[in-house]
Amino acid sequence: MSNSLSEKIRNLSEHYRGYTTENLSRIVQIPSFSGDEKNVIEKLKELCEEAGFDEVYIDGLGNLIGRVGNGPKIIAFDAHIDTVTVGDERQWKTPPFSGAITDKVVRGRGTTDQKGGAASMITAGKILKELDYDGEFTVYFTFTIMEEDCDGMCWKYIIEEEKLVPDFFISTEPSSCNLYRGHRGRMEMEVSFKGVSCHGSAPERGVSAAYKAARGALAIEKLNDELQPDEENFLGKGTITVSQMSAEGPSQCAVPDQARLYLDRRLTWGESAELAVRQVKEAIPECDDVKIPFYDKTSWKGTDFGQDLYFPTWKIARDHPLVTSGESAYKMLYDSDVKVDKWTFSTNAVAVCGRHKIPSIGFGPGDEDQAHAPNEVNKIEDLVICSAFYAALVYSMEKTL
Protein backbone atom coordinates (compact mmCIF):
# COMPACT_ATOMS: atom_id res chain seq x y z
CA MET A 1 0.00 0.00 0.00
CA SER A 2 1.51 3.30 -1.11
CA ASN A 3 1.79 6.44 0.97
CA SER A 4 -0.64 8.22 -1.34
CA LEU A 5 -3.25 5.47 -0.97
CA SER A 6 -2.95 5.40 2.82
CA GLU A 7 -3.34 9.19 2.86
CA LYS A 8 -6.49 8.94 0.74
CA ILE A 9 -7.96 6.35 3.10
CA ARG A 10 -7.09 8.40 6.17
CA ASN A 11 -8.58 11.54 4.64
CA LEU A 12 -11.77 9.75 3.61
CA SER A 13 -12.24 8.27 7.07
CA GLU A 14 -11.88 11.75 8.53
CA HIS A 15 -14.23 13.19 5.89
CA TYR A 16 -16.84 10.64 6.97
CA ARG A 17 -16.40 11.26 10.70
CA GLY A 18 -19.91 12.70 11.03
CA TYR A 19 -21.39 10.01 8.78
CA THR A 20 -19.92 7.20 10.88
CA THR A 21 -20.99 8.88 14.12
CA GLU A 22 -24.55 9.46 12.94
CA ASN A 23 -24.87 5.88 11.73
CA LEU A 24 -23.79 4.60 15.13
CA SER A 25 -26.30 6.88 16.83
CA ARG A 26 -29.09 5.62 14.56
CA ILE A 27 -28.49 1.96 15.22
CA VAL A 28 -28.03 2.46 18.97
CA GLN A 29 -31.50 3.99 19.06
CA ILE A 30 -32.92 0.64 17.90
CA PRO A 31 -32.95 -1.93 20.76
CA SER A 32 -31.62 -5.28 19.56
CA PHE A 33 -31.41 -7.82 22.33
CA SER A 34 -30.35 -11.35 21.36
CA GLY A 35 -33.11 -13.03 19.37
CA ASP A 36 -34.87 -9.73 18.64
CA GLU A 37 -32.54 -8.08 16.12
CA LYS A 38 -34.91 -7.74 13.12
CA ASN A 39 -35.37 -3.96 13.24
CA VAL A 40 -31.69 -3.12 13.52
CA ILE A 41 -30.79 -5.65 10.81
CA GLU A 42 -33.25 -3.98 8.45
CA LYS A 43 -31.80 -0.55 9.27
CA LEU A 44 -28.26 -1.79 8.69
CA LYS A 45 -29.32 -3.31 5.37
CA GLU A 46 -30.61 0.11 4.32
CA LEU A 47 -27.35 1.78 5.38
CA CYS A 48 -25.18 -0.74 3.50
CA GLU A 49 -27.25 -0.31 0.37
CA GLU A 50 -27.00 3.48 0.62
CA ALA A 51 -23.21 3.12 1.03
CA GLY A 52 -23.07 1.39 -2.36
CA PHE A 53 -22.14 -2.16 -1.36
CA ASP A 54 -22.10 -4.56 -4.31
CA GLU A 55 -24.46 -7.01 -2.58
CA VAL A 56 -26.49 -6.93 0.63
CA TYR A 57 -28.64 -9.80 1.87
CA ILE A 58 -30.01 -11.46 4.99
CA ASP A 59 -29.01 -15.09 5.44
CA GLY A 60 -31.10 -17.99 6.63
CA LEU A 61 -30.43 -17.40 10.32
CA GLY A 62 -30.98 -13.63 10.18
CA ASN A 63 -27.43 -12.30 9.87
CA LEU A 64 -26.88 -9.41 7.46
CA ILE A 65 -24.16 -10.00 4.83
CA GLY A 66 -22.66 -7.19 2.76
CA ARG A 67 -20.13 -7.60 -0.04
CA VAL A 68 -17.64 -5.32 -1.76
CA GLY A 69 -15.43 -6.64 -4.56
CA ASN A 70 -15.20 -9.98 -6.31
CA GLY A 71 -11.67 -11.28 -5.85
CA PRO A 72 -10.64 -14.96 -5.55
CA LYS A 73 -9.83 -14.71 -1.83
CA ILE A 74 -12.31 -13.84 0.93
CA ILE A 75 -11.69 -11.51 3.86
CA ALA A 76 -14.50 -10.97 6.36
CA PHE A 77 -15.07 -8.18 8.87
CA ASP A 78 -17.58 -9.00 11.59
CA ALA A 79 -19.66 -7.07 14.11
CA HIS A 80 -22.35 -8.67 16.24
CA ILE A 81 -25.26 -6.25 16.52
CA ASP A 82 -27.23 -7.79 19.36
CA THR A 83 -26.73 -6.38 22.84
CA VAL A 84 -27.25 -7.32 26.44
CA THR A 85 -30.15 -5.68 28.27
CA VAL A 86 -29.75 -2.36 30.11
CA GLY A 87 -29.86 -3.62 33.70
CA ASP A 88 -30.96 -1.07 36.29
CA GLU A 89 -31.94 1.91 34.12
CA ARG A 90 -31.69 4.21 37.14
CA GLN A 91 -27.89 3.88 36.87
CA TRP A 92 -27.87 5.46 33.41
CA LYS A 93 -27.15 9.19 33.26
CA THR A 94 -28.64 9.40 29.76
CA PRO A 95 -31.34 7.07 28.37
CA PRO A 96 -29.71 3.80 27.22
CA PHE A 97 -31.14 4.06 23.70
CA SER A 98 -30.63 7.79 23.20
CA GLY A 99 -27.64 7.46 20.88
CA ALA A 100 -26.67 10.88 22.22
CA ILE A 101 -23.68 12.47 20.50
CA THR A 102 -21.23 14.85 22.19
CA ASP A 103 -18.04 16.26 20.73
CA LYS A 104 -16.07 13.14 21.71
CA VAL A 105 -18.41 10.16 22.28
CA VAL A 106 -21.63 8.43 21.32
CA ARG A 107 -23.70 7.22 24.27
CA GLY A 108 -25.98 4.24 24.75
CA ARG A 109 -26.31 0.48 25.03
CA GLY A 110 -24.27 -1.23 22.34
CA THR A 111 -22.12 1.76 21.36
CA THR A 112 -18.98 -0.22 22.21
CA ASP A 113 -20.31 -3.78 22.40
CA GLN A 114 -20.43 -3.64 19.57
CA LYS A 115 -22.35 -1.45 17.18
CA GLY A 116 -19.37 0.89 16.95
CA GLY A 117 -17.57 -1.78 14.93
CA ALA A 118 -20.61 -2.08 12.68
CA ALA A 119 -20.70 1.67 11.99
CA SER A 120 -16.98 1.72 11.15
CA MET A 121 -17.42 -1.29 8.85
CA ILE A 122 -20.10 0.51 6.82
CA THR A 123 -17.77 3.47 6.35
CA ALA A 124 -14.89 1.17 5.38
CA GLY A 125 -17.08 -0.41 2.71
CA LYS A 126 -18.05 3.04 1.46
CA ILE A 127 -14.37 4.03 1.28
CA LEU A 128 -13.49 0.87 -0.68
CA LYS A 129 -16.27 1.63 -3.16
CA GLU A 130 -15.10 5.23 -3.59
CA LEU A 131 -11.59 3.93 -4.26
CA ASP A 132 -13.03 1.51 -6.87
CA TYR A 133 -11.49 -1.47 -5.11
CA ASP A 134 -11.21 -4.42 -7.51
CA GLY A 135 -8.30 -6.33 -6.04
CA GLU A 136 -7.66 -9.92 -5.01
CA PHE A 137 -10.25 -10.01 -2.24
CA THR A 138 -13.96 -10.37 -2.00
CA VAL A 139 -14.62 -8.31 1.13
CA TYR A 140 -17.54 -9.38 3.29
CA PHE A 141 -18.97 -7.26 6.07
CA THR A 142 -21.12 -9.36 8.40
CA PHE A 143 -23.57 -7.97 10.94
CA THR A 144 -24.31 -10.98 13.09
CA ILE A 145 -26.92 -11.97 15.65
CA MET A 146 -27.28 -13.85 18.94
CA GLU A 147 -23.63 -13.46 19.94
CA GLU A 148 -24.43 -12.32 23.46
CA ASP A 149 -26.39 -15.53 24.01
CA CYS A 150 -24.07 -17.91 22.17
CA ASP A 151 -20.87 -16.39 20.81
CA GLY A 152 -19.77 -17.82 17.50
CA MET A 153 -22.99 -19.68 16.70
CA CYS A 154 -23.85 -17.09 14.04
CA TRP A 155 -20.55 -17.83 12.29
CA LYS A 156 -20.95 -21.56 12.77
CA TYR A 157 -24.14 -21.11 10.76
CA ILE A 158 -22.50 -18.90 8.12
CA ILE A 159 -19.65 -21.37 7.56
CA GLU A 160 -21.52 -24.66 7.88
CA GLU A 161 -24.95 -23.77 6.46
CA GLU A 162 -24.38 -20.77 4.18
CA LYS A 163 -21.00 -22.17 3.02
CA LEU A 164 -19.39 -18.75 3.25
CA VAL A 165 -15.86 -19.65 4.33
CA PRO A 166 -13.42 -16.74 4.60
CA ASP A 167 -9.68 -17.04 4.17
CA PHE A 168 -9.16 -14.34 6.80
CA PHE A 169 -11.40 -12.95 9.54
CA ILE A 170 -11.39 -9.70 11.51
CA SER A 171 -13.56 -9.22 14.57
CA THR A 172 -14.43 -5.58 15.28
CA GLU A 173 -15.13 -6.15 18.97
CA PRO A 174 -13.74 -3.34 21.17
CA SER A 175 -9.97 -3.43 21.46
CA SER A 176 -9.12 0.24 22.10
CA CYS A 177 -7.78 0.26 18.52
CA ASN A 178 -5.16 -2.31 19.44
CA LEU A 179 -4.55 -5.40 17.32
CA TYR A 180 -5.57 -8.63 19.06
CA ARG A 181 -4.48 -12.10 18.01
CA GLY A 182 -6.32 -14.38 20.41
CA HIS A 183 -8.31 -14.89 23.57
CA ARG A 184 -9.24 -17.64 25.98
CA GLY A 185 -12.07 -19.97 25.12
CA ARG A 186 -14.99 -20.61 27.37
CA MET A 187 -17.65 -23.13 28.22
CA GLU A 188 -20.63 -23.50 30.50
CA MET A 189 -21.27 -26.51 32.71
CA GLU A 190 -24.21 -27.64 34.78
CA VAL A 191 -23.43 -29.77 37.83
CA SER A 192 -26.32 -31.68 39.39
CA PHE A 193 -26.66 -33.19 42.87
CA LYS A 194 -29.20 -35.61 44.30
CA GLY A 195 -30.18 -35.95 47.93
CA VAL A 196 -32.89 -37.61 50.00
CA SER A 197 -35.70 -35.39 51.21
CA CYS A 198 -37.22 -35.50 54.66
CA HIS A 199 -39.10 -33.20 56.99
CA GLY A 200 -37.13 -30.12 57.94
CA SER A 201 -37.78 -30.79 61.63
CA ALA A 202 -35.50 -33.84 61.46
CA PRO A 203 -32.84 -33.15 58.84
CA GLU A 204 -30.73 -36.06 60.05
CA ARG A 205 -33.22 -38.40 58.35
CA GLY A 206 -32.33 -37.09 54.90
CA VAL A 207 -29.36 -36.20 52.70
CA SER A 208 -29.21 -32.56 51.71
CA ALA A 209 -28.45 -31.88 48.06
CA ALA A 210 -27.94 -28.24 49.09
CA TYR A 211 -25.04 -29.12 51.36
CA LYS A 212 -23.50 -31.23 48.59
CA ALA A 213 -23.77 -28.26 46.27
CA ALA A 214 -22.29 -25.93 48.88
CA ARG A 215 -19.29 -28.22 49.30
CA GLY A 216 -19.09 -28.37 45.51
CA ALA A 217 -19.02 -24.58 45.25
CA LEU A 218 -16.09 -24.42 47.66
CA ALA A 219 -14.33 -27.12 45.63
CA ILE A 220 -14.74 -24.99 42.51
CA GLU A 221 -13.18 -22.03 44.33
CA LYS A 222 -10.19 -24.24 45.16
CA LEU A 223 -9.99 -25.58 41.59
CA ASN A 224 -9.86 -22.03 40.24
CA ASP A 225 -6.79 -21.31 42.40
CA GLU A 226 -5.06 -24.41 41.01
CA LEU A 227 -5.51 -23.65 37.30
CA GLN A 228 -2.34 -22.67 35.46
CA PRO A 229 -1.49 -20.24 32.62
CA ASP A 230 -0.64 -21.39 29.11
CA GLU A 231 2.97 -22.30 28.33
CA GLU A 232 3.53 -19.10 26.32
CA ASN A 233 1.86 -17.10 29.11
CA PHE A 234 0.09 -15.04 26.46
CA LEU A 235 -3.55 -15.86 27.15
CA GLY A 236 -3.04 -16.29 30.89
CA LYS A 237 -4.55 -18.84 33.26
CA GLY A 238 -7.84 -20.57 32.86
CA THR A 239 -10.55 -19.71 35.38
CA ILE A 240 -13.70 -21.29 36.74
CA THR A 241 -16.45 -19.82 38.89
CA VAL A 242 -19.93 -20.64 40.11
CA SER A 243 -22.31 -18.29 38.29
CA GLN A 244 -25.61 -19.72 39.54
CA MET A 245 -26.63 -21.98 42.41
CA SER A 246 -30.00 -23.48 43.33
CA ALA A 247 -31.54 -26.14 45.54
CA GLU A 248 -35.10 -27.42 45.89
CA GLY A 249 -37.16 -30.09 47.55
CA PRO A 250 -40.80 -30.98 48.27
CA SER A 251 -41.39 -27.78 50.28
CA GLN A 252 -39.76 -24.95 52.17
CA CYS A 253 -39.99 -27.19 55.24
CA ALA A 254 -38.06 -30.09 53.75
CA VAL A 255 -34.46 -31.10 53.15
CA PRO A 256 -33.80 -30.45 49.43
CA ASP A 257 -33.33 -33.51 47.26
CA GLN A 258 -32.07 -31.65 44.19
CA ALA A 259 -29.41 -29.00 43.71
CA ARG A 260 -27.52 -27.41 40.85
CA LEU A 261 -24.38 -25.42 40.23
CA TYR A 262 -23.91 -23.50 36.99
CA LEU A 263 -20.28 -22.89 36.06
CA ASP A 264 -18.47 -20.40 33.86
CA ARG A 265 -15.15 -21.87 32.72
CA ARG A 266 -12.55 -19.87 30.79
CA LEU A 267 -10.09 -22.04 28.87
CA THR A 268 -6.50 -21.11 28.18
CA TRP A 269 -4.41 -22.56 25.37
CA GLY A 270 -4.17 -26.34 25.65
CA GLU A 271 -7.32 -26.77 27.75
CA SER A 272 -10.26 -28.63 26.22
CA ALA A 273 -13.88 -29.28 27.12
CA GLU A 274 -13.04 -32.87 28.02
CA LEU A 275 -10.29 -31.75 30.40
CA ALA A 276 -12.55 -29.17 32.05
CA VAL A 277 -15.38 -31.65 32.65
CA ARG A 278 -12.97 -34.22 34.07
CA GLN A 279 -11.48 -31.64 36.44
CA VAL A 280 -14.93 -30.78 37.81
CA LYS A 281 -15.86 -34.41 38.30
CA GLU A 282 -12.62 -35.03 40.18
CA ALA A 283 -13.05 -31.88 42.28
CA ILE A 284 -16.66 -32.73 43.22
CA PRO A 285 -16.94 -36.50 43.71
CA GLU A 286 -20.39 -36.01 45.33
CA CYS A 287 -21.95 -34.70 42.13
CA ASP A 288 -24.26 -36.88 40.08
CA ASP A 289 -23.62 -35.41 36.67
CA VAL A 290 -21.63 -32.73 34.84
CA LYS A 291 -22.94 -31.71 31.44
CA ILE A 292 -22.40 -29.00 28.84
CA PRO A 293 -25.78 -27.37 28.16
CA PHE A 294 -27.12 -27.05 24.61
CA TYR A 295 -28.27 -23.71 23.21
CA ASP A 296 -31.22 -23.90 20.83
CA LYS A 297 -33.04 -20.56 20.88
CA THR A 298 -34.98 -19.67 17.73
CA SER A 299 -33.61 -16.69 15.79
CA TRP A 300 -35.65 -13.59 14.93
CA LYS A 301 -36.15 -15.09 11.47
CA GLY A 302 -37.75 -18.21 12.93
CA THR A 303 -34.76 -20.46 12.29
CA ASP A 304 -33.81 -23.18 14.76
CA PHE A 305 -30.07 -23.70 15.07
CA GLY A 306 -27.99 -24.61 18.08
CA GLN A 307 -24.80 -25.93 19.59
CA ASP A 308 -23.20 -27.01 22.84
CA LEU A 309 -22.17 -24.08 25.03
CA TYR A 310 -18.48 -24.74 24.36
CA PHE A 311 -16.36 -22.12 22.61
CA PRO A 312 -12.78 -23.16 21.78
CA THR A 313 -9.70 -21.13 22.65
CA TRP A 314 -7.93 -19.48 19.72
CA LYS A 315 -4.79 -17.57 18.85
CA ILE A 316 -2.55 -17.04 15.84
CA ALA A 317 1.20 -16.58 15.76
CA ARG A 318 2.76 -13.20 16.44
CA ASP A 319 4.41 -13.30 13.01
CA HIS A 320 1.34 -14.51 11.09
CA PRO A 321 0.85 -12.53 7.84
CA LEU A 322 -2.55 -11.32 9.04
CA VAL A 323 -0.93 -9.81 12.14
CA THR A 324 1.99 -8.29 10.27
CA SER A 325 -0.33 -6.92 7.57
CA GLY A 326 -2.38 -5.27 10.30
CA GLU A 327 0.75 -3.74 11.78
CA SER A 328 1.81 -2.48 8.37
CA ALA A 329 -1.61 -0.96 7.62
CA TYR A 330 -1.66 0.89 10.93
CA LYS A 331 1.92 2.11 10.46
CA MET A 332 1.13 3.44 6.99
CA LEU A 333 -1.95 5.25 8.25
CA TYR A 334 -0.65 6.76 11.47
CA ASP A 335 3.14 6.46 11.37
CA SER A 336 3.20 4.67 14.71
CA ASP A 337 3.22 1.09 15.94
CA VAL A 338 0.03 -0.63 16.97
CA LYS A 339 -0.05 -2.62 20.21
CA VAL A 340 -0.49 -6.36 19.65
CA ASP A 341 -2.36 -8.05 22.48
CA LYS A 342 -5.39 -10.21 23.37
CA TRP A 343 -8.97 -9.89 24.61
CA THR A 344 -10.10 -10.75 28.11
CA PHE A 345 -13.59 -11.70 26.95
CA SER A 346 -14.89 -13.97 24.19
CA THR A 347 -15.86 -13.16 20.58
CA ASN A 348 -17.23 -14.78 17.43
CA ALA A 349 -13.66 -15.85 16.61
CA VAL A 350 -14.25 -18.88 18.85
CA ALA A 351 -16.12 -20.34 15.89
CA VAL A 352 -14.09 -18.92 13.02
CA CYS A 353 -10.59 -19.57 14.38
CA GLY A 354 -11.22 -21.75 17.42
CA ARG A 355 -13.54 -24.23 15.71
CA HIS A 356 -12.76 -23.80 12.00
CA LYS A 357 -9.07 -22.78 12.19
CA ILE A 358 -9.44 -19.71 9.95
CA PRO A 359 -6.77 -17.08 10.72
CA SER A 360 -8.34 -14.25 12.72
CA ILE A 361 -7.45 -10.98 14.38
CA GLY A 362 -9.35 -8.31 16.25
CA PHE A 363 -9.36 -4.53 15.93
CA GLY A 364 -12.25 -2.47 17.17
CA PRO A 365 -13.37 0.90 18.50
CA GLY A 366 -14.03 1.42 22.19
CA ASP A 367 -12.67 -0.01 25.40
CA GLU A 368 -13.38 -3.46 26.81
CA ASP A 369 -14.50 -2.09 30.16
CA GLN A 370 -17.48 -0.39 28.48
CA ALA A 371 -18.98 -3.75 27.50
CA HIS A 372 -22.15 -4.56 29.47
CA ALA A 373 -21.63 -1.50 31.69
CA PRO A 374 -24.16 1.24 32.46
CA ASN A 375 -23.49 4.57 30.71
CA GLU A 376 -21.76 2.76 27.86
CA VAL A 377 -19.98 5.08 25.40
CA ASN A 378 -17.72 4.81 22.36
CA LYS A 379 -15.12 7.35 21.32
CA ILE A 380 -15.75 9.05 17.97
CA GLU A 381 -12.02 9.17 17.27
CA ASP A 382 -11.90 5.37 17.57
CA LEU A 383 -14.66 5.06 14.96
CA VAL A 384 -12.61 7.14 12.52
CA ILE A 385 -9.43 5.14 13.15
CA CYS A 386 -11.22 1.83 12.64
CA SER A 387 -12.99 2.80 9.42
CA ALA A 388 -9.60 3.73 7.98
CA PHE A 389 -7.88 0.61 9.32
CA TYR A 390 -10.45 -1.81 7.87
CA ALA A 391 -10.14 -0.32 4.40
CA ALA A 392 -6.34 -0.12 4.59
CA LEU A 393 -6.01 -3.72 5.82
CA VAL A 394 -7.62 -5.03 2.64
CA TYR A 395 -4.90 -3.37 0.56
CA SER A 396 -2.16 -4.37 3.00
CA MET A 397 -3.27 -8.01 2.82
CA GLU A 398 -2.83 -8.05 -0.97
CA LYS A 399 0.89 -8.59 -0.30
CA THR A 400 0.20 -11.92 1.46
CA LEU A 401 -1.29 -13.57 -1.62
Residues marked as catalytic: 82, 147
**Could you give the 3-state DSSP secondary structure of residue 108?**
coil
Are 120 and 365 within 8 A, CB to CB?
yes
- As a whole number of angstroms, the distance between CA 32 and CA 107 comes to 16
- As a whole number of angstroms, the distance between CA 163 and CA 299 comes to 19
Please report which helix (H) or strand (E) contains residue 283, including its range: helix 273-283
- As a whole number of angstroms, the distance between CA 295 and CA 310 comes to 10
Which runs of consecutive H residues, i.e. helices, occur in 90-235? 116-130, 153-160, 209-226
- As a whole number of angstroms, the distance between CA 352 and CA 80 comes to 14
- Exposure of 67 by Cβ count < 10 A (0-12 exposed, 13-18 middle, 19+ buried)? buried
Q: Which residues contact 127 (CB under 8 A, 6 or more apart)?
A: 9, 12, 13, 16, 387, 388, 391
The neighbour count for residue 204, using CB atoms within 10 Å, is: 7
β pairing state of 258-267 and 239-248? antiparallel
Q: Which residues contact 130 (CB under 8 A, 6 or more apart)?
A: 12
Are 219 and 286 within 8 A, CB to CB?
no
Q: What is the DSSP letter of 150?
A: S
- As a whole number of angstroms, the distance between CA 8 and CA 392 comes to 10
- As a whole number of angstroms, the distance between CA 294 and CA 304 comes to 13
Are 162 and 59 within 8 A, CB to CB?
yes
